[in-house]
A and B are shown apart, each in its own frame.
Chain A
Amino acid sequence: MDLQSAKMIGAGLAAIGTGAAAIGVGFVFGQFLNSALRNPAAADGQQGRLFLGFALAELLGLMAFTVALLILFVF
């Protein structure tokens, strides 16, 4: 296998991480809705934590995306 094909395969594998982040983001919002529907009165006060959790989960997927881009365009 030459370097070019190996890079393409590596970038594709790195993109799997974004799917894993999708699971994480879905988990954050799903759990939030799950509990917000049980106690809607308390839901608004937790929006900051909701978006904090969302941001943290999303960041890891973005890092996978960055790795894919680095493999494709930098090395």
Chain B
Amino acid sequence: MAGKIDPMHQFTVEPLVPLHIGRYDISLTNSAAWMIAALVVIALFMWGGMKRQVVPGRWQMAVEGLTGFIDDLVQVNIGPEGKKFTPYIFSLFTFILVANLLGLLPLAIVPGWHPFTPTSHFSITGLLAIMSFSLVLIVGFWRHGFHFFSLFVPHGTPVYMLPLIIPIEIVSFLVRPFSLALRLFVAMMSGHILMDVFGSFIANGFGAGSPVGFGVGVISFIFIVGVGALELLVCALQAYVFALLTSLYLNDAINLH
């Protein structure tokens, strides 16, 4: 019979290894476990390609392609002074990308297992965004002191427009961490809800045992193949957008506009 569709169940954080210190709950949750898994995957990937062969093999080419891609991004958007931020942007990009992709693994075919996407939680993306935003603030004030506030006054603004422009610029500056975090979190979460809902349509449609149910199941199946491909694209795109926006904000802080 048709089961109830519960698309929010996949986002529950469950403790795997309960651990309490005093009144604080620091259990190893499935969220933490999947983040560690992402870390292990990144470490293995990088380790396999860092042999520094003169004639690179396939693996080293893949790693060099990834590092070269981020290096290019930073060079284009920040300039030569952005070189020292490349490791940060790179860690951000690879972590988000791998965490997103691991969450799409079809692990639910093993009973009792289901993949978990750390980046579909606002606490994780919010922390990443706060890290980027604080880095922008620290770098900005470190390099320019209080001159950093000239970020709020675009070049060539007429004086009589300043009372209007400055509040707008301040709001658009302060909203940056929220927009960074919200974009990644909502993109991941809505994609997973969509896949879960249509997956349930397939199961319920075929389980209904009527021709109409069968038709619904077939259509949903065709649809979910397309959505799955789109989700792969969204995973990469959101990681890219996060890295790109972080480097653009860093560019603001370093070069002032």
**Which residues of A does B touch, CB under 8 Å?**
48, 51-52, 54-55, 58-59, 62-63, 65-66, 73
Contacts and interface: CB of A to CB of B under 8 A. Distances in A.
A55 B77 contact: no
Contacts of A58: 183, 187
Main secondary structure of the interface of B (DSSP, over half): helix
B182 A66 contact: yes
Contacts of B240: 51
A3 B248 CA distance: 44
Nearest to A45: B76
A62 B187 contact: yes
B252 to A, nearest CB: 12
B201 to A, nearest CB: 18
7 contacts: A48-B76, A48-B244, A51-B241, A52-B244, A55-B244, A65-B186, A73-B8
A29 B245 CA distance: 18
A55 B245 contact: yes
Q: Nearest 7 pairs between A and B by C-beta?
A: A62-B186, A55-B241, A59-B179, A59-B183, A51-B244, A65-B186, A51-B241
A64 to B, nearest CB: 10
Nearest to A63: B182
Interface residues of B, number: 15
A55 B242 CA distance: 9
Given A48-B76, A48-B77, A48-B248, A62 B241 contact: no
Contacts of A66: 182, 186
B190 interface: yes
Given A48-B77, A48-B244, A59-B179, 8 more contacts: A48-B76, A48-B248, A54-B241, A62-B186, A62-B187, A65-B190, A66-B182, A73-B8
A58 B190 CA distance: 13
Contacts of B241: 51, 54-55
Interface string B174-187: 00000100110011
Given A48-B76, A48-B77, A73-B8, A62 B183 contact: yes
A59 B182 contact: yes
Nearest to B182: A62
A55 B183 contact: yes
A52 B245 contact: yes
Nearest to B8: A73
Contacts of B8: 73
B79 to A, nearest CB: 13
A70 B237 CA distance: 25
Contacts of A73: 8
B135 to A, nearest CB: 19
Nearest to B190: A65
A59 B245 CA distance: 13
Given A62-B187, A65-B190, A73-B8, A52 B182 contact: no
A40 B190 CA distance: 34
Interface string B229-247: 0000000010011001100
A55 B176 CA distance: 12
